[in-house]
Structure 1
Amino acid sequence: MTIHLHDFDGEHSLTLDVGGLAADAAVVAAGHEPNGHFWEGLVRFSWPDIAGHVDFDSDAGMFCAVGSSSDLARLKTAVESVITSPEAVRDIIARAETSGFEFDD
């Protein structure tokens, strides 16, 4: 499990290959599919200040965000703090569902 920051021709992106993450069991137990779209939703809910400054290009097997290097560096730090923590993911899912947020997974 590695989150990658990329710089290609001046375009910056952050990618995460999904599946096999420590938090996957918590995602499934909450009734969600631990795919790129789920993680995109988790980012949109958890860090709207960052999510509002990046574009997403996620798919079933990969989470992908495109934006400035500084926004993506902040996002990388934030995402790394939860993908290895089933407890943090369970907490975020519970808060999201309580607020009426719907994941698009």
Structure 2
Amino acid sequence: MNAGGLAADVAVAAAGHEPNGYFWVGLVQFAWPDIAEGLDFDSEGGMFCAVGSPSDLARLKAALEAVITSPEAVHDIIARAESSGFEFDD
């Protein structure tokens, strides 16, 4: 997925993060650790890349589709992550 140009970028930037591929790896690892554990990530600044089985990737796609279009959902995940001490690597 291209990182940047997403509806959720507003919430990412407002929280002081860069809406890049590395940010999205962290968000996936925090929000859906059960999905993330079955994936390998090869993201860069301008893209989010996950490699895994078709079923794991389908689960990831369904989870991300609901979030990348919703600044409110991303804001909520970021707030939960930061209150738990999670640090994004962006």
Q: TM-score range by the shorter chain?
A: over 0.9
Structure 1 position 18, deviation (Å): 1.1
Structure 1 position 71, deviation (Å): 0.3
Aligned to 1:22: 7
Aligned residue runs from structure 1 range 79-90, under 5 A: 79-90=64-75
Aligned residue runs from structure 1 range 1-105, under 5 A: 16-105=1-90
1:45-94 per-residue CA deviation (whole Å, 9 max, x = no partner) reads 00000000000000000000000000000000000010000000000000
Structure 1 length as normaliser, TM-score?
A: 0.85
Bigger proportion of residues as helix:
2
For residues 26 and 50 of structure 1, the distance between their equivalents in structure 2, rounded to whole angstroms, comes to: 23
SS in 2 for 1:17: coil
Larger Rg: 1
For residues 57 and 6 of structure 2, the distance between their equivalents in structure 1, rounded to whole angstroms, comes to: 20
Where does the alignment leave 5 or more consecutive residues of structure 1 unmatched?
1-15
For residues 47 and 34 of structure 2, the distance between their equivalents in structure 1, rounded to whole angstroms, comes to: 22
For residues 104 and 69 of structure 1, the distance between their equivalents in structure 2, rounded to whole angstroms, comes to: 26
Question: Identity, % of aligned pairs?
Answer: 78
Where does the alignment leave 5 or more consecutive residues of structure 2 unmatched?
none
Bigger proportion of residues as strand:
1
**Higher RCO, Cα 8 Å, sep 6+:** 2
Structure 2 length as normaliser, TM-score?
A: 0.99
The structure 1 segments of at least 4 consecutive aligned residues displaced by more than 4 Å after TM superposition are none
